Amino acid sequence: MTKVTPEILDKELDILMHDGIPEDLIYTIREKIKNEALEEEQLEYLLNKIFINYNNAIVETSEPVGT
């Protein structure tokens, strides 16, 4: 198990940004977890959850909202 370094964090967040997550959300994620002592597996799990939840929250055209 490897601890997350700033280089690993930047690399993983760049991948997330290329997958369509907005830059301001990437910045917020970076600020929240930059001082946390995470393992690589924990970071991967967290970023996967963020990616899934973000994509599930996107509203499609003509999709009803609030019903």
Q: Nearest CA to 30 among 45, 48, 43, 49?
A: 43
CB 3 within 8 A of CB 37: yes
Residues 39 and 15: their CA atoms lie apart, in Å, by: 18
Residue-level pLDDT at 39? 94
Q: Where are the domains of the chain?
A: 6-57
Residue-level pLDDT at 40? 94
CB 16 within 8 A of CB 47: yes
Q: How high is the mean pLDDT in each 10-residue block of the chain (67 residues)?
A: 89 95 95 92 96 92 82
